[in-house]
Amino acid sequence: MDQFLGELPLTRPWPALVALVVVLIASVAVFWVLVRRWTTHRLRLQLADWAASNRFKLDPPGAERLPEPVADAKTRGKLLFSLRDDSTSLVQLEAGTTPGEASDKPACWNLLVRKIGTAWPLTGLRPVSHKSSFLDAFVISSYPSLASPDRFVVFGADAVAARAVGGSSLVGLTPAVVGLLLHGGYLILDFSTRPFDTIEVQRMIGIVDQLAAHLPAKS
């Protein structure tokens, strides 16, 4: 019996160990990808699903494609998210502070930019409750008497346009936590105090649809 066992070939354990190590590494890699997918990348995945369902395009990370009026602003920041279709862009910008700027401004600017058919001079509704607003990135005069003092201050580069906005239904239709800016052929909503998620994005699109339909005449 001992002679028979001695003649059996001895199998080496190395191939089995190598296979186990490969399986372990693959399992760790899959787990790491899934964790990132549902933690740090969760919002991007949700926005990608929303964009696909609503005929929007979600720009890849690192894209620096800013809508024209946002690129014109004196504020600068890293582009975190960008969703767009033919007429509407939704962007989230990192709002880093620079010397002379308010230190209490939000960490990010959440902006919706809609193309409109009329070219406007810089005209806006700045929420009274906001210590910082994206409207502050533009040098325009204020007209405190043109709107309800508990909701908005009217800003404008042109007094006629400011008066038209201040006396229009835009004041009542714009939520008190959302800033509004008309700039050239664009309407911008600043919803930086609200989350940049699929629920709020859908809500802002509904609001801008309503506002665009009630734009006043400039004169």
Tens of pLDDT, residue by residue over 39-55, are 556 888 999 999 999 99
Tens of pLDDT, residue by residue over 202-219, are 999 999 999 999 999 865
Tens of pLDDT, residue by residue over 191-203, are 999 999 999 999 9
pTM reported for the whole predicted model: 0.77
- Note whether 188 and 113 are within 8 A (CB): yes
Task: Give residue 9's pLDDT band: very low, low, confident or very high (50, 70, 90).
Answer: low
Per-residue pLDDT for 82 more than 50? yes
Per-residue pLDDT for 74 more than 70? no
